[in-house]
Amino acid sequence: MSKSGMMAAVAAAAGLGAAEVENLTVDAKMIATHFPEAAATLRNEGAEAEHSRIAAIEAAHMPGHDAVIAAHKADRSKTGADAAQAVIAAEKVRLAGLKTSLADDEKRVADLKAAAPGADSPASGGANPHAEARSLSELAQTYIAEQAAKGITVSVAAAVAHVSKKG
């Protein structure tokens, strides 16, 4: 059907005469005026489509990505799939930043451990006093147990003095 034939058919359906076909523009106003049921159907379908688009975009939402979702809702050319891809891309960037931050933190902790005075560090006087006390205590307890097995009772002070002389 030619354009003029189609326009004539629309004009006839709208109840317009042949003279009105020359200046006929088929737009929302013309459809609303001459075809109110079709206009209402188109409005409802458009509203449903927009509602579905917004719902699909909202479904792609993740905490921290409010701006991405808001921008996609405002841009009528964007779909739920577009929003999901944008959120995933933003999340990848965020996770890469976290990974870098964790690696930096691990390096700082390793540097702190290396700089901390240890058992063999000259800063601690050559020995870790806590490890030394624990070792002395363990040796004294072992000596007390050995003497008890022989039937000899030894005080803690005597055991410490004994193992201190040996070491």
pLDDT in the model for residue 119:
43
Sequence-separated contacts (24+) of 114-119 with Cβ below 8 Å: none
- For the stretch 63-83, pLDDT in tens is 999 999 999 999 999 999 999
Q: Which residues, other chains included, contact 153 with Cβ-Cβ below 8 Å and sequence gap of 6+?
A: 147
Contact of 11 with 18, CB cutoff 8 Å: yes
Query: What are the φ and ψ backbone dihedral angles of 31, each rounded to 5 degrees?
Result: -65, -45
**pLDDT tens, 94-137?**
999 999 999 888 888 888 878 776 544 445 455 566 566 668 78
Query: Tokens at residue 61, please?
Result: 């939402």
Structure confidence by residue, pLDDT tens digits, 30-47: 899 889 999 999 999 999
